[in-house]
Amino acid sequence: MAKISINIKEATIEKRELIAGIDLGTTNSLIAFVNKETGLAETVKEDGKNSLVPSIVHFESPDKVIVGSAARHYLVTDPQNTIYSVKRLLGKSYKDVKEFEGYFGYKIIDEDTEQLVKIRVGNSFYSPIELSSFILKELRHRAESVLNAEVRKVVITVPAYFNDSQRQATRDAGKLAGLEVLRIINEPTAASLAYGIGLDPQEEKTIAVYDLGGGTFDISILKIQNGIFEVLSTNGDTFLGGDDFDRAIVDYWLEHNHVSKDTLHTDKSLSQSLRLQAEEAKIHLSNHDFYSGKHDSLQCNISKAVFEQLTLPLVEKTIAAILRALSDAKLTSDLIETIVMVGGATRIPLVKNTVAAFFGKPVNDSLNPDEVVALGAAIQADVLAGNQKDILLLDVTPLSLGIETIGDLMDVIIPRNSKIPTSAARQYTTSVDGQKNLKIAVYQGERDVVKDNRKLAEFILSGIPAMPAGFPKIEISFILNADGILKVKAKELRSGLEQSIDIKPQYGLTDAEVEQMLLDSIVHAKDDMKIRSLLEAKTEANQVLLAAEKFIKKNAELLSAEEAAGMQALMTALKQATASDDKDLIQVKMDELNEYSRPFAHKVMDAVIGEAMKGKKV
């Protein structure tokens, strides 16, 4: 069996080069690096002061994008064109985000499909990947201008619970920002590295990382052993964070001034500006016993004691989540040796004290809680740069492995830089009714279109029992062993039909070739994303057209002549759009057809239900 012949550290990274760590946060993002003189991690600060870049993107026009603090006040004045919390949408389909759509002040495209979500700004459509890439670009520019150096290679952090598709989306966002993402690491892992926990391979420890950010709460229990950070359990609340503490203050002020809460619904600008003032009060109360202020005619006072009384239920919710995490990890609180505090909202004394009391020991809070994740990412980056020789790095696979999917696109199953041995699986289905054979083509590389990657093998899963399109469940699993041998297995889960093949992914690739492939993937990242989104839009449009045709044929009697003609016209327009290379146009036409046909779909549904109910006793 062939061994992996490439040492990624030597093949792609020159000694002592600057690799940055990035915390791409829901509320705030930061970039950090290890200072060569001091050997310590530090965040890049604007004007030497502020390291936080609010994760807000404002579109003045499609060509004029403002990111960060400067975009903040547009949340009040121009909410439709101002995108926040985009991290919540990364790697998600519309189905995934449906239940919290009301949370966003901007338009999420409602296609009710499994496709990844898109956001509409004016007449342009953006994926969360593109939006995140604007934030990454801003961080990159900031670092480059402050450090007067080029930043190309980065480590980006993600929550421990992020799934494959969310991690891949984060990676793609980096690519699109012209960055080479050397590794995606978990936020709690980064936070512990910032405190120096886990840097010594001899160290063995069980720790809890408590992360209360602007809008999310995460608790992670990690076991550190032989330099490996194993996530034992995660828990939390995706809608609990500092914002809720602000809201509690706003509600209190309204009540005190005898103003109805409904006022906030009608007066969005008052709602936003009051919220900003409440945040100011909250931050003030982290170091003082009383806040007093005014907002137009409103008296805005609050004492620390009242604030604590109002927000205790929020803190208690986090404790309940810790208990669930401990129970999942099969541990009790006394077995947790170290507690690391992360996220700006852990500066609130009530939060800190309650958590310390719960574990019965002091918490680690000496570093800036909103900087620790970025600092840890910078340390990991420095390790990857080869600057910390005594730290062991695990072997990784140097190029991504995946299969070809519809539209000639590469679907990555094992991302590059995954520790080996590793395995991953993903489910696919057929696109044609009665399809009996499925070609599985395996590729290696970082480009989005398969022909730009290296083909490793191809085999056919044959004898799939005849089923309607979309019905078979075909699981493709990749198992990469420690020797770098890849085994690819395809199994149709409904029938149990199975086939597999062994591949040596590394065989015949020289270091120089790997380097070239990585380089190409960076140089072509922008074109690739463009082609990918165009191909995806075309594929999607074809599916929508097919479904629409089927629909008209089946339900002819339910549609009036005008309705049918209206649909036909929109279908023709969509067909014409797919012949162009204008992704946004295809999207607009698809949107129009969907909007137009939605009421008919409801009508049909009612008729079907009516039919089913006939003659049945209820």
Q: Which amino acids are annotated catalytic? A: 23, 87, 187, 211
If one asks whether residue 116 binds ligand ADP (CB under 6 A), the answer comes out as no
CA distance 352 to 308: 12
Question: Taking contact as CB under 6 A, which single stretch among the options 20-28, 409-417, 509-517, 603-611 is the one that binds ligand ADP?
Answer: 20-28
The alpha carbon dihedral of 66, 72, 77, 82 has a sign of positive
- Quick check: 163 and 206 in contact, CB under 8 A? no
Q: What are phi and psi of 190, to 5 degrees?
A: -60, -45
Taking CB under 6 A as the binding criterion, the range among 75-83, 220-228, 250-258, 338-346 that sits at the site for ligand ADP is 338-346
> Of 372, 337, 389, 343, which is closest to residue 225 (Cα–Cα)?
337
In the structure encoding, which two tokens stand for residue 218, read together? 């995460």
Q: Which is nearer to ligand ADP, 54 or 445 (CB)?
A: 54
Binds ligand ADP by CB under 6 A, chosen from 56, 65, 283, 449:
283
Q: Which of 188, 236, 343, 472 binds ligand ADP (CB under 6 A)?
A: 343
Rounded to the nearest whole angstrom, what is the least distance from the CB of residue 551 to ligand ADP in the complex?
42
Candidates 11-19, 159-167, 277-285, 497-505: pick the segment binding ligand ADP (CB under 6 A).
277-285
Which of ligand ADP, Mg ion, none binds 371 (CB below 5-8 Å, type-dependent)? Answer: none
Instruction: Considering the complex, state which of residue 52 and residue 537 has its C-beta at the smaller distance from ligand ADP.
Output: 52
Name which of ligand ADP, Mg ion, none residue 430 binds, using a CB cut-off of 5 to 8 Å depending on partner kind.
none
Q: Give the residue with the Cβ less far from ligand ADP, 53 or 399.
A: 53
Query: In the window 174-213, what residues touch ligand ADP (CB under 6 A)?
Result: 213
Using the rule CB under 6 A, is 242 a contact of ligand ADP? yes
Q: What angle do CA 161, 53, 61 make, to 5 degrees?
A: 105
Select the binding partner of residue 407 from ligand ADP, Mg ion, none (C-beta < 5 to 8 A, by kind). none
Residues paired with residue 42 on neighbouring β-strands, in sequence order: 33
Options 169, 224, 278, 348; binder of ligand ADP; rule CB under 6 A: 348
User: Would you list the DSSP string of 157-192?
Assistant: EE-TT--HHHHHHHHHHHHHTT-EEEEEEEHHHHHH
List contacts with Mg ion (CB under 5 A): 25, 213
- Residue 484 touches which member of ligand ADP, Mg ion, none, C-beta under 5-8 Å by kind: none
Q: Which long-range contacts (CB under 8 A, 24 or more apart) does 551-558 make?
A: 551/597, 551/600, 551/601, 551/604, 555/600, 555/604, 558/600, 558/603, 558/604, 558/607
Span from 25-33, 547-555, 570-578, 598-606 in contact with ligand ADP (CB under 6 A)? 25-33
Per CB under 6 A, 345 contacts ligand ADP: yes
Q: Are 223 and 252 in contact (CB under 8 A)?
A: no
* Shortest Å, Cβ 287 to ligand ADP: 7
Residue at 183: amino acid letter: R
The alpha-helical segments, DSSP class H, found in 1-127 are 8-12, 69-72, 74-77, 94-97
Minimum separation from the CB atom of position 595 to ligand ADP (A):
34
Binding-site partner at residue 400 among Mg ion, ligand ADP, none, CB < 5 to 8 Å by type: none
Residue 286 in contact with ligand ADP, rule: CB under 6 A: yes
How far out from the chain centre does Cα 109 lie? 18
Total residues contacting ligand ADP by CB under 6 A comes to 21
What residue 402 binds from ligand ADP, Mg ion, none (CB within 5 to 8 A, per partner kind)? none
Q: Which is nearer to Mg ion, 90 or 409 (CB)?
A: 90
Question: Which one, 213 or 445, has the nearer CB to Mg ion?
Answer: 213
Q: Binding to ligand ADP by residue 88, rule CB under 6 A?
A: no
The region, left, alpha or beta by phi > 0 then psi within -120 to 50, assigned to residue 348 is beta
205 Rama class: left (phi>0) / alpha (psi -120 to 50) / beta: beta
State the DSSP H helix or E strand holding residue 316, giving kind and residue range, or none if neither. helix 304-328
Cβ distance 574 to 541 under 8 Å?
yes
Shortest Cβ distance from residue 30 to ligand ADP (Å)?
8
**Contact letters (x/-) for ligand ADP, 206-225, by CB under 6 A?**
-------xxxx---------
**376 lies in the site for ligand ADP, by CB under 6 A:** no
- Looking up tokens 């399809």 gives 435
Residue 557, C-beta contacts closer than 8 angstroms, at least 6 positions apart: none
Residue ranges binding ligand ADP (CB under 6 A)? 25-28, 213-216, 241-243, 279, 282-283, 286, 343-345, 347-348, 370
